C-alpha cells in the first residue's frame, strides 16, 4: 500500500508584517504625549540700547539663599521659616523708602526697597538643595507678588485681577514688576 503523504496546513503570514506595521502607526497617531510643565517665567529681553549693565542699589536687592539643609536665609544673616517669607517679601517690595510711591503701603524703612519698580529679589541655592524646597520658595515669591498686585487692582480699579482689561493689567504689572534674579549655582 502506498503511503499518501499529507501536506501540513500552512498559515499565510505574508500580510502579518503589514498588520503589525498598521497597528504601530495607529498607536503612534492616537497616543498623546504630555508636554512637560515647568515654572512660567518671562525671560528678560536682550539689551538693545546701552547701558546694559545697570548698577542696583544694595537697598533694593532682597537676597534669599536656600542652603543644603533646605533652610531659608535672607539678607545673608537671618534664617526664617517658609511661612514667613511671603510677608517679609511684601514688606520689602512695598516699602516706599524714597517716598515717591503714592500707592505703596510700606513702612519706609531705610533697609528695604525704594519702591516696587526698583525691588529685585535675588534667589540663590546650594547645589544640594532639595528641588521641592526650591520650588516652594519660588511659589512664596509668586504669592507675594500676586497679593501685592491683587491689592493694587482692588484699590485702583475696584476689580479682581481676573476681570482687568489688558491695559489695566499692564498698569498693575508696571506698578509691581516681577523682578527675580536667580544666581547660578556653584558646583564643587
By 3-state DSSP, what share of the chain in percent is helix, strand and coil, each rounded to 5? 40, 10, 50
pLDDT digits (tens, 9 = 90+) for 132-184: 999 999 999 999 999 999 999 999 999 988 898 999 999 999 999 998 888 87
CA distance 153 to 161: 6
Q: Is residue 175 situated within a structural domain?
A: yes
Q: Is residue 154 situated within a structural domain?
A: yes
Q: Is residue 36 situated within a structural domain?
A: no
Domain hosting residue 156, numbered range = 58-182
Q: Is residue 52 situated within a structural domain?
A: no
Q: Is residue 10 situated within a structural domain?
A: no
- The count of domains in the chain is 1
Q: Is residue 95 situated within a structural domain?
A: yes
pLDDT digits (tens, 9 = 90+) for 83-116: 999 999 999 999 888 888 888 888 888 888 888 9
The answer for 75, left when phi > 0, alpha when psi is -120 to 50, beta otherwise, is: left
Q: Is residue 88 situated within a structural domain?
A: yes
pLDDT for 95 = 87
Q: Is residue 37 situated within a structural domain?
A: no
Amino acid at each position: 500500500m502506498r503511503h499518501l503523504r499529507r501536506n501540513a496546513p500552512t498559515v499565510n503570514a505574508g500580510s502579518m508584517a503589514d498588520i503589525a506595521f498598521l497597528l504601530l502607526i495607529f498607536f503612534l497617531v492616537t497616543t498623546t504625549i504630555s508636554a512637560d510643565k515647568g515654572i512660567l517665567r518671562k525671560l528678560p529681553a536682550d539689551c538693545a540700547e546701552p547701558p546694559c549693565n545697570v548698577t542696583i542699589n544694595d537697598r533694593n536687592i532682597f537676597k534669599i539663599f536656600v542652603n543644603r539643609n533646605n533652610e531659608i536665609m535672607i539678607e545673608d544673616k537671618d534664617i526664617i521659616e517658609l511661612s514667613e517669607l511671603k510677608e517679609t517679601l511684601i514688606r520689602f517690595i512695598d516699602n516706599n523708602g524714597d517716598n515717591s510711591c503714592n500707592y505703596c503701603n510700606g513702612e519706609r524703612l531705610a533697609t528695604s526697597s525704594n519702591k516696587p519698580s526698583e525691588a529685585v529679589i535675588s534667589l540663590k541655592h546650594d547645589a544640594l538643595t532639595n528641588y521641592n524646597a526650591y520650588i516652594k520658595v519660588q511659589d512664596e515669591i509668586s504669592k507675594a507678588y500676586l497679593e501685592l498686585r491683587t491689592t493694587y487692582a482692588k484699590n485702583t480699579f475696584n476689580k479682581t485681577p481676573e476681570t482687568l482689561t489688558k491695559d489695566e493689567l499692564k498698569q498693575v504689572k508696571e506698578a509691581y514688576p516681577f523682578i527675580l534674579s536667580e544666581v547660578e549655582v556653584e558646583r564643587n
